[in-house]
Structure 1
């Protein structure tokens, strides 16, 4: 539907009779005002009308071969069922990779890529191994903030990087706890902060933790850390006596 020129609709003000009498009547060679070329004028003429995905302009029929609303296209039909129903990261809809990566970088050693792929490798593990190809080919459908597909080798590389960082971070933390650098109270603060970050990531993944489960996890961690401190203290005493 073409746009009419401004001032040609029925809402324009009527011209006073005296002024209308002074204006020359249009001759046969002069087109009447209503016969002026249609279409946007002025500032509106600078921009062409936007077109939709089917290539039609707004207001035109969308029956020109475009996708029919409510009917899945061929790409959707090719997505495996377990991929289409996967909603682990549904709370991250609309999130950008850079923002997620920045949050993780400030609080952990892992990247957003390593975090997402490590979780996917856990969820798509089978008796014969991890479905690397399925994860890589459907990565944008599985994780909202991932926009590119990955090769199986890239998926395996990210998973290996995640595992290496966890082991390195674990060794670093245990050394800090055992070397008597932190007091017991300071170590409790470190554990509390680490637990809060871990719980937040689990909640973002869609894991619903009850209060009882949180308390149980914190008690298990505290129990392990008490054993670490006691063993470390005994080790240092044995070294001093020698």
Structure 2
């Protein structure tokens, strides 16, 4: 990606995960639970937590480095990104295992250093979902409004797709070249349909 990518850092980050400068309004007032000892014996750690392999590519990275990378390219913070992924991976038939996520957060995500209460986990997930929805509405309006040419939208889609693919790769997803091309083709096709439909809507209004 670039030299700014969240690789292992020199350990200069300071502050708690939830309240660091740069987390913005979504990080304010987060209930951070530090009662659980992250250095507890491995025998007390659930098996699925011990086997969890995501985020290993940035093992040793500092929260601030990851957060800065995300805030430069997305609306979400490192906290929201990590917890949203965990909420998907630790979803059961009866719901998300928020207590397990919060108690084992430093074990599951290398750049998270504090344990969280279930309420804090839920807050971070809700913040992620809200930001994704707002970002989607903003992008779709821009695509439908006629502000951008087809070529400009294609270039924009390429850039945002590259960021999205990089984040997936950091999570441990192996994207084959054929799969990447197929996904890009399908996204381009959808965007062409959006452009054509939006033209018809704007013409009807005019």
Q: TM class by shorter-chain length?
A: 0.7 to 0.9
Q: Aligned-pair distance for 1:123? A: 0.4
State whether structure 2 residue 115 is matched by structure 1 residue 183: no
CA shift digits 1:191-213 (9 cap, x unpaired): 00000000000000000000111
State whether structure 2 residue 189 is matched by structure 1 residue 223: yes
> Which residue does the alignment assign to 1:46?
none
Larger RCO, structure (CA 8 Å, separation 6 or more) = 2
CA shift digits 1:16-66 (9 cap, x unpaired): xxxxxxxxxxxxxxxxxxxxxxxxxxxxxxxxxxxxxxxxxxxxxxxxxxx
CA shift digits 1:108-135 (9 cap, x unpaired): 0000000000000010000000000000
1:139-158 to structure 2, matched below 5 A, reads 139-158=105-124
Q: TM-score, normalised by structure 1?
A: 0.68
- Count how many residue pairs are aligned between Structure 1 and Structure 2: 168
CA shift digits 1:151-210 (9 cap, x unpaired): 000000000000000000000000000111111111111100000000000000000000
Task: Write the distance in 2 (CA, Å) between the matches of 1:103 and 1:74.
Answer: 31
SS in 2 for 1:161: helix
Decide which structure has the larger Cα Rg and report it: 1
Q: Aligned-pair distance for 1:74? A: 5.5
> Which residue does the alignment assign to 2:97?
131
1:92-103 to structure 2, matched below 5 A, reads 92-103=58-69
Task: Write the distance in 2 (CA, Å) between the matches of 1:227 and 1:174.
Answer: 12
Task: Write the distance in 1 (CA, Å) between the matches of 2:168 and 2:40.
Answer: 34
What value does the CA root-mean-square deviation take over the aligned residues?
1.0
Task: Write the distance in 1 (CA, Å) between the matches of 2:40 and 2:57.
Answer: 27
